Amino acid sequence: MFRTRDFILLFTAITFLVSAIGATVFIQGTSSHSTATSHEAFQQQLAAAGAQEYQAVITTREELNRSQRVAQMRDKIAQATELRAPEPELPVQTEPDLATTTAEELAATTDLDQCRGYTPYLGFWDARGLSVTENEGAVLVVRSTQSATGSSTQMTLLQLPKRLAPAPDQSCIGSDVIGIANDGSLIRNDELDLYSVFSSETRIGYALDGFPIYGTGSATVDQCGGRLQNGQYRYELQPDQDTVINCFSAAPITLP
């Protein structure tokens, strides 16, 4: 016996099949139409491309010999040089050499006679226990030492020549040290202000050529800065000078 429930199930299945078949037919038709349209557009692009004319260009390397290549390179270099503007040369600024500048200015403003090989004195000089004395026609720089027992000993460190009159030829100044003070310290030529407090009656030391050096005076002096006083030549500091002496009036000794 055919029941109602079975009829409903059969009807539902038939309806589902019909709907599925219809949907499939519709999708296939739409896809075919799109494919045909795309195919037609591609055919039109090929037809348009075929109407255009293309030309193939084959480049060949020009055969040049060595001399021609060298000439060609020279031409390129010349053209590049002509197009490039020359760069202006800027002046080179360097830091001034203070020591050299000072020496040059000093020589230009005074009568200072510097040697070509002028160099500052760099030796070790220990002034402790030193004194300057005259003995047997010489000027001696003596070091005094005292032993543990209380006895004192003296050792001559340096001997300066004893002279009365200047030599016929003057000598240039080869170092910044030009003499030795009474206390054994070195007298440097640029220390005029240090010793200018003394008068011309005070001996402040001896120059390396053996002549004594006195304080500031007003008497007329020669080119080196010295004069004769009671038959003895000596140097006197001048307030209008920048150095203790300008040259040696005799040959100086060399410091150790």
| Domain boundaries of the chain, sorted by first residue | 1-35, 113-123+163-237
Looking at residues 108-115, what average pLDDT do you find? 75
Q: Which of 159, 162, 172 is nearest to 243 (CA)?
A: 172
Looking at residues 220-242, what average pLDDT do you find? 93
Largest CA distance in the chain: 175
Round to whole Å and give the CA distance between 44 and 198: 119
pLDDT for 213 = 95
Residue 158: strand pairing partners: 141
Higher pLDDT, 196 or 80: 196
Give the HSE-up count for residue 160: Cα atoms under 13 Å, Cβ half-sphere.
27
pLDDT for 146 = 79
Which of 1-10, 210-219, 225-234 has the weakest average pLDDT?
1-10
Round to whole Å and give the CA distance between 179 and 182: 10
Round to whole Å and give the CA distance between 17 and 231: 154
Looking at residues 151-174, what average pLDDT do you find? 89
Query: Which band of pLDDT confidence, cut at 50, 70 and 90, is reported for residue 80?
Result: low
Round to whole Å and give the CA distance between 16 and 25: 14
Tally Cβ neighbours within 10 Å of residue 200: 16
Query: Which band of pLDDT confidence, cut at 50, 70 and 90, is reported for residue 98?
Result: very low
- Residue ranges in the chain assigned as alpha helix (H): 4-51, 66-83, 98-109, 192-195
Residues 6+ away with beta carbon under 8 Å from 147: 153
Round to whole Å and give the CA distance between 35 and 122: 105
Query: Which band of pLDDT confidence, cut at 50, 70 and 90, is reported for residue 119?
Result: very high
Looking at residues 197-213, what average pLDDT do you find? 93
**What's the mean pLDDT when you consider all of the chain?**
77
Q: Which of 108, 96, 114, 116 is nearest to 189 (CA)?
A: 114
User: Cα-flanking dihedrals φ and ψ of residue 97, to 5°?
Assistant: -80, 105
Round to whole Å and give the CA distance between 247 and 113: 6
pLDDT for 245 = 95
Q: What is the pLDDT of residues 11-62, one digit of tens each?
A: 777 877 777 777 676 666 655 555 555 556 656 665 665 555 545 555 455 5
Q: Where are the beta strands (DSSP E) in 92-168?
A: 130-135, 138-146, 152-161
Tally Cβ neighbours within 10 Å of residue 234: 22
Quick one: DSSP state of residue 225?
A: S
